[in-house]
Amino acid sequence: MSASLPRLSLPLSPEAARALKLGDVVLLDGDAVATVGMPTQKRMVAELEASRELPLPLRGGSFFHMGVSYEEGDAGPGPLHYVNPTTSSRFDHLMPTLIRTLQLTATGGKGGLGRESVEAMREAGCVYFSFVGGASALLSQGVQSVADCAWTDLIMQFRLNRIRLDGFGPVIVAIDAHGNSIYERLMTSARERMPEILQSLRTAPDETERPR
């Protein structure tokens, strides 16, 4: 199945990001920067607010909420051990600044982002790719190498790690570049159905009161 999916080359242009539709399932090639570190992203925001460039090029690029583990070599990152996505909402208060300042065209992780981040994505021409949780082995197969890393004073998963992708995924366009979010639609649907669900629970027969 994966072999027949469309493949996208990162970094995307804003036009390519805006052409993607909510629910599209794709594979990713090219380069992205990944980290799971809260201190890392706070440092990123601080550097950008001080008008300093980040140590890895990320303007117009792809930024993923994902841990990366690899062999450490004298000349830089060695062979990959694995990648493992984390929950994006942890960084929701930082992402609007990162998206707008860096003009990101793709981000991704697990669980989506909130409305302020979605609005920043709409302005920048950026999509959010949803990664399957618990599928580290599958996702790791789509990482060709760890091309570079920065901020080596941090633990490996907290560093800025530039990964080279080759058929990474499958991933889902869960937030598009037009302000639409699968997560918001699910929440709206759940709220609309809640009265019906509660009513069905109230009127359901009590199994504990049935005669034996």
Is the separation of the CB atoms in 159 and 40 below 8 Å? Answer: yes
Strands 106-109 and 7-10: unpaired
DSSP class of residue 22? T
Q: What is the pLDDT of residues 163-177, one digit of tens each?
A: 999 999 999 999 999
Strands 127-130 and 62-73: unpaired
Taking the model in full, what pTM does it have? 0.88
pLDDT at position 157, please? 97
pLDDT at position 210, please? 57
Q: Which residues contact 32 (CB under 8 A, 6 or more apart)?
A: 10, 61, 62, 63, 64, 106, 162, 163, 165
Residue 158 phi/psi, 5° resolution? Answer: -90, -15
Report the 10 Å Cβ neighbour count for 68: 26
CATH number belonging to domain 2-204: 3.20.130.10
| Residues of the chain falling short of pLDDT 50 | 1
Per domain, the residue ranges of the chain are 2-204
pLDDT at position 3, please? 64
* Alpha-carbon span 60 to 49, nearest angstrom: 17
> Which whole-number Å values give the CA distances from 43 to 5, 16, 120, 122, in the listed order?
36, 29, 20, 24
Q: Is 203 helix (H, G, I), strand (E, B) or coil?
A: helix
